[in-house]
Amino acid sequence: MKSILLYDTTLRDGTQGEQIAFTATDKLKISQKLDELGIHYIEGGWPGSNVKDREFFEAARNEHFRNAKLTAFGATHRYGIRAENDGNLNAIISCGAKVATIFGKTWDLHVEKILRIRPEDNLDIIRESVEYLKQNGLEVHYDAEHFFDGYRENPNYAIATLTAAITGGADFIGLCDTNGGSLPHDVEAMVKDVIAHFSLAENISSNRPPVGFGIHTHNDSGLAVANTIAAVRAGAVLVQGTINGYGERCGNADLTSIIPILKLKMGYPCISDENLTKLQNVSLFVSETANMTPLNSRPFVGKSAFAHKGGIHVNAISKDARSYEHMDPRLVGNRQRVLISDMSGKSNIDYKIKELGLSLEADGIDAGKIVAQIKQLEKEGYQFDDADGTFQIMIEKLTHQFKSMFDLDSFRVIIEKNKNESCHSHAIIKISVDGEVQDITVAEGHGPVSALDNALRKALNKVYPKALDPVHLVDFKVRVLDGRDGTGAKVRVLIESRDAGSIWSTIGVSEDVIEASWQALADSFQHKLSRLEKEQVLKKS
> Which region among 42-46, 145-149, 246-250, 496-500 has the lowest average model confidence (pLDDT)?
496-500
What's the mean pLDDT in 5-15?
97
- Residue 353 pLDDT > 80: no
Q: Are 22 and 285 a contacting pair, CB within 8 Å?
A: no
Half-sphere exposure of 175 (CA within 13 A, CB side): 36
- Residue 114 pLDDT > 70: yes
pLDDT at position 367 is 72
Q: Are 355 and 318 a contacting pair, CB within 8 Å?
A: no
- Residue 371 pLDDT > 60: yes
DSSP state of 100: E
- Residue 483 pLDDT > 70: no
- Residue 189 pLDDT > 90: yes
pLDDT at position 373 is 80
- Residue 359 pLDDT > 80: no
Question: Could you tell me where the DSSP H helices lie in 357-447?
Answer: 367-379, 388-398
Helix axes of 513-534 and 388-398: crossing angle, nearest 10 degrees = 80
> Which region among 79-93, 164-178, 189-203, 226-240 has the lowest average model confidence (pLDDT)?
189-203
- Looking at domain 5-271, its CATH architecture is Alpha-Beta Barrel (3.20)
- 445-454's contacts with Cβ under 8 Å and 24+ in sequence apart are 447/423, 448/413, 448/415, 448/514, 448/517, 449/476, 449/514, 449/517, 449/521, 450/425, 451/413, 451/425, 451/426, 451/427, 452/411, 452/413, 452/427, 452/514, 452/517, 452/518, 452/521, 453/521, 454/427
pLDDT at position 20 is 94
**Percentage of the chain modeled with pLDDT above 90:** 69
> Which region among 22-31, 175-184, 375-384, 429-438 has the lowest average model confidence (pLDDT)?
375-384
pTM of the model: 0.78
Q: Are 213 and 237 a contacting pair, CB within 8 Å?
A: yes
- Residue 485 pLDDT > 90: no
Other Cβ atoms within 10 Å of 482 Cβ, number? 9
Of residues 383 and 132, the one with the higher pLDDT is: 132
- Residue 229 pLDDT > 80: yes
In sequence order, what are the residues at sequence separation of 6 or more whose Cβ sits closer than 8 angstroms to the Cβ of residue 16? 247, 248
* Spatial distance between the Cα atoms of 399 and 419, rounded to a whole number of angstroms: 52
Of residues 63 and 502, the one with the higher pLDDT is: 63
Question: Could you tell me where the DSSP H helices lie in 399-481?
Answer: 448-463
pLDDT at position 56 is 96
What's the mean pLDDT in 205-214?
74
Mean of per-residue pLDDT scores for the chain: 90
- Residue 365 pLDDT > 80: no
- Residue 486 pLDDT > 80: no
- Residue 175 pLDDT > 60: yes
Beta strands in 135-224 (DSSP E): 139-145, 172-177, 212-217
What's the mean pLDDT in 192-197?
95
Other Cβ atoms within 10 Å of 162 Cβ, number? 26
What's the mean pLDDT in 217-238?
98
Residue ranges of the domains in the chain?
A: 5-271, 307-398, 407-534
CA 165 to chain centre: 33
Looking at the DSSP bridge assignments, the partners of residue 42 are 8, 70
Q: Distance of CA 27 to CAs 34, 59, 256, 513, Å? A: 10, 10, 18, 38
pLDDT at position 341 is 66
Q: What one-character-per-residue DSSP string does 207-260 give? A: TSPPPEEEEEEB-TTS-HHHHHHHHHHHT--EEEEBGGG--STT-B-BHHHHHH
pLDDT at position 208 is 57
Read off the pLDDT band of 472 (50, 70, 90): confident
**Percentage of the chain modeled with pLDDT above 70:** 94
- Picking from 242, 267, 265, the residue whose alpha carbon sits closest to that of residue 255 is 242
pLDDT at position 388 is 82
What's the mean pLDDT in 31-52?
95
The pair phi, psi for residue 511, each rounded to 5°, is -75, -15
pLDDT in tens, 285-343: 999 899 888 898 999 999 899 988 877 888 898 889 999 999 999 999 999 988 776 56
Of residues 328 and 355, the one with the higher pLDDT is: 328
In sequence order, what are the residues at sequence separation of 6 or more whose Cβ sits closer than 8 angstroms to the Cβ of residue 486? none
Looking at the DSSP bridge assignments, the partners of residue 141 are 101, 172
- Residue 55 pLDDT > 80: yes
Give CATH for domain 407-534.
3.30.160.270
What's the mean pLDDT in 65-83?
96
Other Cβ atoms within 10 Å of 359 Cβ, number? 11
- Residue 203 pLDDT > 50: no
pLDDT at position 360 is 66
Residue 44 host element (H or E): strand 41-45
